[in-house]
Amino acid sequence: MHLDLRSKFAVFLCTVFLASVLSNDTVFFLLTAILIIYSTILGYLKIAARIAIVIILISLMRTISEGNGFGVMLPDMFLFIVLRSLVIFLSVIPIVKTSPGELMAFMKKFKVHRNIALPLIFMLRFFPVVKSEFLEIIDSLKLRGLISFKKPFTTMEYLFVPMMFSSSNVSEELAAASEVRGISAKGIHTSRRVIKFRINDYIILILTIFVTLGLYLLEGAI
């Protein structure tokens, strides 16, 4: 299912609102289940499942500690904040996964200033590439036997020094590729992507409003 970016932002804003006002665990986990279904429908089952597992583990930790946390290192307030943040992240996944081309077309249509649009586009494109480079560096260090928990500082040096050089090269390559494609060229920029509300967007928007109101009222009724 493809959704307009505005629909995704509506879900995100409503999730932030609910995560900040819901205090009943039953209603909160109902919200979590709805967001997992939402992410799964949009095609993000794997990452939603991973987040769900972490949410379950943290919830079990809070239950075992009976709301007291685990000392200074893991106070209950920290677990509470992480739990809420993970639920919000479930609603952010579709936004973060939006392709740079679609995001650029969206910003062009709504006349977002280039000083805001371009850094955001580069950021969304930069982090996935850097993640790939990071994993390649780790695999390379494993093959050479240079990762050792006995020498953490040496391992960090082997890891982060090539990572910094790689990140610098990636940023230069992305900037050069964008310039070649005319991202800073003057004139009217066109796009093959059509930014408009479709039936799916209206359905998601209506469901989001009803779910938000329903959970908020259910919170007060329990």
Lowest mean pLDDT among 12-21, 80-89, 98-107: 98-107
The answer, yes or no, to whether residue 198 has pLDDT greater than 90, is: no
Query: Average pLDDT, stretch 147-159?
Result: 73
Question: 23 near 216, Cβ under 8 Å?
Answer: no
Tokens 């379950």: give the residue: 56
Query: Average pLDDT, stretch 173-190?
Result: 66
Better-scored residue on pLDDT, 105 or 37: 37
Q: Please report the pLDDT score of residue 161 as a whole number.
A: 78
Query: Average pLDDT, stretch 156-177?
Result: 74
Lowest mean pLDDT among 51-60, 69-78, 210-219: 69-78
Neighbours of 211 (CB within 10 A): 19
Residue 184's H or E segment, with its range, is: none
Q: Looking at the whole model, is its pTM more than 0.85? A: no
Residue 32, phi then psi, degrees to nearest 5: -60, -45
> Residue 105: CB partners within 8 Å, gap ≥ 6?
191, 193, 195
Residue 79, phi then psi, degrees to nearest 5: -65, -40
Tokens 């790689």: give the residue: 166
Query: Average pLDDT, stretch 194-211?
Result: 87
Average pLDDT, the chain: 80
**CA-based nearest residue to 102, from 5, 1, 199, 205:** 5
Both tokens assigned to 2: 């493809």
Both tokens assigned to 153: 């500082």
Q: Please report the pLDDT score of residue 59 as a whole number.
A: 86
Query: Average pLDDT, stretch 54-82?
Result: 81
